[in-house]
Structure 1
Amino acid sequence: MKQKMSIAGILLLAALGMQANSYTVKSPDGKLVVNVACEGGKASYTVDYNGKQMLGTSALGLVANYGDFSKDLTMGILKGGEVKPLSYKMTRIKKSDIQKDVVDATIGFLNSKKDSMTLHLHVSNNDIAYKYEMSRPKKDNPKSVIIYNEVSGFNFPEKTTTFLCPQITPMTGWERTKPSYEEEYTPDALMNVKSQFGVGYTFPCLFKVGSDGWVLVSETGVSSAYPGCRLSDYEPGKGYTVAFPQKGENNGIGSEYAGIPLPGETPWRTITVGSSLAPVVETTIPYDVVEPLYEASQTYKPSRYTWSWLIWQDNSVNYDDQVKMVDVAAAQGYEAILVDGWWDKQIGRKRIEELSKYAKSKKVSLMLWYNSNGFENDAPQTPRQIMNNSIARKKEMAWMKKIGVVGIKVDFFGGDKQETMKLYEDILSDANDYGLEVIFHGCTMPRGWERMYPNYVSSEAALASENVYFTDYHAKKEAFEMTMHPFSRNAVASFDWGGVMMNKYFSKDNKSRHQRYTSDVFEMATAITNQSSVNCICLYPNNLQDVPQWELDWLKNVPTAWEDTKFIAGYPTKYAVVARKSSVENGSGAALTAGRWFVGGLNATDKPLALTLDLPMFAGKTVTYITDQPKKKGEKFFTSVKKTLKVGKDGKAKVVIQPNGGIIIE
């Protein structure tokens, strides 16, 4: 869909003095307006939506080792700009059939040395993406370039508040494993407050522009050809700027800069804009502007898995306990179990082969955990020094294919440097050769990877479920986190939160340690509000007796593939209601038909939340309504109930979501 403009044409027109001072590119519906200008030799853009400014004058450009493209620029002509259709299909994201109108355009720039840079713009009704294309200069004819920094900016109006997750300094935290995108969000914050660790914020970044609307900023299309980036701290008059990795990431190994061949391109910077949160929750921009980098070696099907480690921890990685988890998965019709770290020491490879054979007899497959290290940090869990070495990696993957393993979870990466991005890509590419799906933990945010790498499943890249196990503090914060992610982390990429958790207490006996503060319905609803094509349903043998049978029956059929996603209601960190339409792509264990809508709602506040929901998909119908009974005096846990609800002919439905509770409508 992209259009490239002849660099020779840009040079000629610039030489003839035919360049303009500004250009306007509008979305197909005309509501989203991007104005690109070049004043005083500096390129910039602004963004308006529905006649209201969402981004003020924001810088464009970069600085490379052979030339500066942040100043002394001359703008050439705009090419393209007409409305065109975009169409593609996916099975691993929030929608399965993407059909939309888009506008693609390019604008050329010359710097003071007459070297060229082309800005590519992609605009749809609520989304903007832009990237830079660098040509090969005639002088000295360099065939590659080092990009030292981008000046790409996001300058919001002063009334803007933020919902951001801070980046952390490198080689910190447990066993020097950070940064790993696992810090805490701060809601409704002012822009001029310094980030917690003084090094900016991880993508994606959510902004509320007063009463005018919402903006989600991120990036996509990051492969081995570029580092992963973040946003800087806010600077008055300038806003936020794209920032490269920190020098100390990856244990100091590898450059923090970007190295690309010439001609070459940067990844896309993405901006999703709306007067409500609907465009943020529903956006597909991370996938609209990328293409698959290789073909799938087989059909990778959506599925569900159980996982002993979350509550049973390291000691559960033994043969007998993993057999129990296979039996739970088989009882629920789930397709896999995840065998976590230390399996090579505590179970051994021969017995893993036996376990895989036993699992297959129950129509269940194994997924195996691996450490990504090398040298990136000090995480001790094994298997180590396999996934970072191509020879060892391929040998291991051949063994996994032979014994019937279907996927891997790779943990503890070293940051966002281009060298680390290459490791992600190498693991994914090799895994595809052996028919393995891949989940990443202790990792960066994925950036369009579901479409770029067909065997990629999802990533953690958030303060996920293990922290709920570790401390009472995070158990109390679970609802806060889960009502943030639909509007930020999970809006741009699949999210391996790490489990629908049904134990009342975070212990193997389900009686000791700290309690779970969310209701059963809350946990079940997260299977809808969270999106991942391979989802963790963290059931244990005791749950088959202590969880109500009708809840288990619902969890037997929980889908993980979706035709469509709709925002219903919500506010980040307070509540979230999301509707998803199930897809025929769901695995054989899900007794569902395509086209069935599921609505999941979560309440993170300390009071019952009465809502009137707009549910046009259920207009005039009587639907199943799963909710929590109000607690009676002295009750510690909610009691869930399954009943019916009559939706008005206008699609309106009145519901109440209990504190730390949930609802499901289907």
Structure 2
Amino acid sequence: MKRVLVLCSLLFSLMAHAQNNISVSGPDGNLEVEVSVNEGKVLYNVSYKGKTFVENSPLGLKTNAGDFTSGLSFVESSEGEVEKEYTQDRIKRSEISYKANTLKYTLKNKAGKKISVVFRVSNNDIAFRYELPVWEKTRACVVEREITGFRFPGFTTTFLSPMMKPMTGFARTAPSYESGYDPDAAMSENNAEGGYVFPGLFHIGERGWVLVSETGVRSLYTASHLSSYTNGVYTVDYPSPGQNNGFGSTGAQLGLPGVTPWRTITVGETLKPIVETTIPFDVVDPLYEPSEDYKYGRGTWSWIIWQDPSMNYDDQVKYIDLAAALNFEYILIDAWWDREIGYEKTEELVRYARSKGVDVFLWYNSNGTANDAFMTPLNKMNTSVSRKEEMKWLKKVGVKGLKVDFFGGDKQETMRLYEDILSDANDYGLMIIFHGATLPRGWERMFPNFVGSEAVLASEMLVFVQDTREKEAFYASLHPFIRNSVASMEFGGVILNKYLNKGNREGQKRITTDGFQLATSILFQNPVQMFALTPNNLTDVPGFEIDFIKKVPTTWDETLYIDGYPGKYSVLARRHKEKWYVAGVNAEDDAKKLKLSLPMLAGKTVTIYNDNKDKETYMEKIKVSRKGTLQLTVQSKGGFVLTQ
């Protein structure tokens, strides 16, 4: 009798275990997620073509109304499908077709309160989030922390950027997503105290690659990041208490029923799915309608090379004339314009610019209470009353967009400020670029007047820091695979001065070639790009380079991975309408010979911009083979562009 009872007990245990283990695959069957409950804890793993990419990793969160990190039991699951076709004019692709299989995995804690984890699995992407129902009379809670984790095979190497320590750096404005990368680092070496920003790239040896990020963050939640590598796993970590000068919760205030942002995982045997993913936008939708038909394009800005002394009327006229000469759509007038030029004279500048066919972006400080950033205009964007009053004037005088700076934090308080600025700006027909800011998380689709964020070690650090100049090519070879893969990136580059200053004779010498700079206009994707050109470039730069810049687009209908390895070199192809552009940069110490597969250009004669052995950039016509192959050499710290 005892043997029968034991056998029945084992059989029941196996049946329960089988019920708990639920899997869902992408439409082509290659990408699979399995979810299970083991001793009261929820785990998931990810495989691709039968090979493990993410090992059993924890799921769960803790709220002030219930703990969902342990003591959990399986309730039920349901599966389905989602299909979505949409157009998007500010990302790497304009026409998107998204298909995924779904799994809703519902659990309850010891108190009987339920929570669900919802997965969407497409051919190379996974998005998942938590859904919290109303718990009896509880209609509000605070999500205090998550244990959502990512456990990779032990041989995995990483490409991660450390989260900056709060209230440090210039005027205590950190964190602002402006740290470097340690390429191909062992996971055990990743012990940054504050963790790592999204996205994070992981190389799973010969199996392939994984990109981890999040999307759908708005005023209803906090933004998050990856923890340091602890006990064999990276977890989702909420903002440090010290952000925003210690003000505001580190967790999320959530109304019920409510949902968390989507955590995303992109998987590929090669880097192609990483570069081409649209998952940050596939699982979110627009929050409001655009008030205008916003126009994208290129702009000039004096501050990046000529710096603060250029904030005067005469120099801004010179940059307006430069924009007009280059057929650019915009000029950005940076910090101190209100003090050094004044509101009345700025109105004159806007009128002058419009007479030249150029529109204006103006710089603003987001700050009022969060840090010590002192540049003006100050205290104009941080409250609803002052913001709307200022935007009313901006609309009246014909300003088209704002660059808002110095946020420094990921707490829900700051996410609310981002959303308020965007929403109010749309009411007044204004586009928004964020600087000194967090990573955009699906915002190109969510907010129709959002046109880019910095959130990268950008061009200003090339001016200020020798180490950044020396590593310019290294970082450029990373961004297409990491930062710029998940969101627009307003880098502010394409520097054609030999020296990064107004005199252009000595000082901060540029290390990269002109070919490299031209290539980044294609590699770095942002719908409004403020290029770092100067008035003297019209006469001291080869005419064919200026002609190229006059015509380069900033919006794309298609983006393809061609070749590359992060930290070494990168080659992408982008299509604008019917015209293809192929661009690449080489970060290595020696010239690199490449054999590229370019079927879209097979048998066609194209124009190439490349560097010779003396690092001088040239232009010539070449023909791609009928098979679509092309061999070329890219110089060290150099780059190339092919155009039809």
TM-score (ref. length: structure 1): 0.93
Q: Aligned partners of 2:164 and 2:520: how far apart in 1?
A: 28
Correspondent of 2:111 among 94, 100, 113:
113
* Structure 1, unpaired ranges of 5+: 1-16, 583-593, 632-637
Residues 1:188 and 2:188 are matched in the alignment = no
Say whether residues 1:224 and 2:219 are aligned partners. Answer: yes
SS in 2 for 1:649: coil
Counterpart-to-counterpart distance in 2, 1:210 and 1:194:
17
Question: Are the aligned partners of 1:576 and 1:602 in contact in 2 as well (CA < 8 Å)?
Answer: yes
1:356-435 pair list within 5 angstroms? 356-435=350-429
Note the 1:126-165 alignment, pairs <5 A. Answer: 126-138=124-136, 141-165=137-161
1:621 alignment counterpart: 604
Structure 2 counterpart of 1:495, from 489, 493, 513: 489
The structural deviation recorded for 1:472 is 2.2
Work out whether residues 98 and 282 of structure 2, in 8 Å CA contact, stay in contact via their aligned partners in 1. Answer: no
What amino acid maps onto 1:640 in structure 2? T
Amino acid of the structure 2 residue aligned with 1:203: F
User: How many residues are treated as equivalent by the alignment?
Assistant: 629
Structure 1 position 211, deviation (Å) = 1.1
Match for 1:644: what amino acid? K
Tell me how far 1:74 sits from its aligned partner. Answer: 1.3
Q: Deviations over 1:50-105 (max 9, x none)?
A: 211000001111001111111111123221234x4321100000000001321122
The yes-or-no answer on 1:598 pairing with 2:596 is no
**Distance (whole Å) between structure 1 residues aligned to residue 415 and residue 401 of structure 2:** 20
The amino acid across from 2:522 in the alignment is I
Query: What are the superposed Cα offsets for residues 506-532 of structure 1, whole Å, 9 maximum, x if unpaired?
Result: 111211212111111110110110000
Letter in 2 for 1:654: Q
Q: Residue 70 of structure 2 aligns with which residue?
A: 71
Q: How does 1:132-531 map to 2 (within 5 A)?
A: 132-138=130-136, 141-196=137-192, 198-237=193-232, 239-531=233-525
**Residues 147-180 of structure 1 deviation map (CA, whole Å, 9 limit, x = unaligned):** 1101100000001000000012210111111111
**In the alignment, structure 1 residue 641 sits paired with structure 2 residue 618:** yes
Contact map agreement 1:195 1:201 (CA 8 A) in 2: no
**Contact 2:290 2:426 survives alignment (8 Å):** yes
Residue 470 of structure 1 and its aligned partner are, at CA, apart by 0.8
Task: Say which SS state the counterpart of residue 192 (structure 1) adopts.
Answer: helix
Percent same amino acid among aligned pairs? 51
Question: Do the aligned residues in 2 keep the contact of 1:619 with 1:651 (CA within 8 Å)?
Answer: yes
In 1, the alpha carbon distance for the partners of 2:570 and 2:334 equals: 31
Counterpart position of 1:11: none
C-alpha distance in structure 2 between counterparts of 1:489 and 1:54, whole Å: 21
Compute the RMSD of aligned alpha carbons: 1.3
Kept in 2, the 8 Å contact 1:20–1:76? The answer is no
In 1, the alpha carbon distance for the partners of 2:613 and 2:510 equals: 17
Q: 2:89 aligns with which of 56, 79, 91?
A: 91
Which residue does the alignment assign to 1:37? 36
Secondary structure of 2:223's counterpart equals: coil
Q: Partners in 1 of 2:466 and 2:246 — Cα distance?
A: 35
What CA distance in whole angstroms lies between the structure 2 residues aligned with 1:648 and 1:18?
Answer: 57
Q: Measure how far apart 1:19 and its partner are.
A: 8.9
Amino acid in structure 2 at the alignment position of 1:182: E
C-alpha deviation, 1:236, in angstroms? 3.1
Letter in 2 for 1:459: S
Deviation at 1:280, TM superposition (A): 0.6
Counterpart AA for 2:56: T
Asked if the contact 2:480–2:524 (Cα under 8 Å) also holds between the matched residues in 1, the reply is yes
2:566 maps to 1:572: yes
Match of 2:4 in 1: none
8 Å Cα contact 2:92-2:559 kept in structure 1: yes
Contact (CA 8 Å) 2:115, 2:130: kept in 1 or not?
yes
Tell me by how many angstroms 1:18 deviates: 11
Structure 1 residues 531 and 102, CA gap change in structure 2 (3 angstroms): same
Counterparts of 1:316 and 1:623, CA distance in 2: 39
Distance 1:107 1:473 in 2: 48
Residue identity opposite 2:188 in structure 1: N
Question: 1:194 deviation in Å?
Answer: 3.8
Per-residue deviation, 1:195: 3.2
Structure 2 segments unaligned to the other structure (5+ residues)? 1-15
**1:609 aligned to 2:604?**
no
Change (3 A) 1:650 1:177: same
SS where residue 211 of structure 1 aligns?
helix
Q: Work out the CA distance in 1 between the residues paired with 2:315 and 2:223.
A: 38
The answer to whether the aligner puts 1:23 opposite 2:22 as a matched pair is: yes
The equivalent of 2:79 in structure 1 is: 80
| Alpha-carbon offset, residue 500 of structure 1 | 1.1
Displacement of 1:473 in angstroms is: 2.0
Q: 3-state SS of the aligned residue for 1:20?
A: helix
1:546 to 536, 540, 551: 540
For the residue of structure 1 that corresponds to 2:502, the secondary structure is coil
After superposition, the C-alpha distances for 1:300-342 in whole angstroms (9 at most, x for unaligned) are 1221100100010011011000000000000011011000001
Measure the CA separation in 1 of the matches of 2:506 and 2:316. 22
Displacement of 1:538 after TM fit?
A: 1.8
Opposite residue 564 of structure 1, the aligned amino acid is E
Give me the whole-angstrom Cα distance separating, in 1, the residues matched to 2:161 and 2:110: 38
Contact 1:166 1:195 (8 Å CA) reproduced: no
Does the 8 A contact of 1:18 with 1:77 survive in 2? Answer: no
Query: Are residues 18 and 187 of structure 1, via their aligned partners in 2, closer, same or farther at CA, if it must alter by over 3 Å?
Result: closer
CA distance in 1, matches of 2:69, 2:355: 62
CA distance in 2, matches of 1:104, 1:536: 40
Correspondence for 1:585: none
For 2:229, give the aligned amino acid: Y
Residue 652 of structure 1: how far off its partner (Å): 1.2
What is the aligned partner in structure 2 of residue 52 from structure 1? 51
Q: In structure 2, how many angstroms separate the alpha carbons of the residues matched to 1:555 and 1:49? A: 42
Q: Would you identify which runs of 4 or more consecutive aligned residues in structure 1 move more than 2 Å? A: none
Structure 1 residue 181: deviation in Å?
Answer: 0.6
Q: What is the rounded CA distance, in whole Å, between the counterparts of 2:596 and 2:436 in structure 1?
A: 37
2:51 and 2:627 map into 1 onto residues whose CA distance is: 31
How many angstroms apart in 1 are the aligned matches of 2:527 and 2:212?
24
Q: Deviations over 1:594-637 (max 9, x none)?
A: 22110010001110000101111011222211110111xxxxxx
SS in 1 for 2:396: helix
CA distance in 1, matches of 2:450, 2:501: 32
Whole-Å Cα distance in 2 between the matches of residues 99 and 554 of structure 1?
32
| Alignment partners' CA distance in 2, 1:386 and 1:100 | 40
What secondary structure sits across from 1:479 in the alignment? helix
- Secondary structure of the equivalent of 1:483? helix
Q: Provide the C-alpha distance between the structure 1 equivalents of 2:598 and 2:452, rounded to a whole number of angstroms.
A: 29
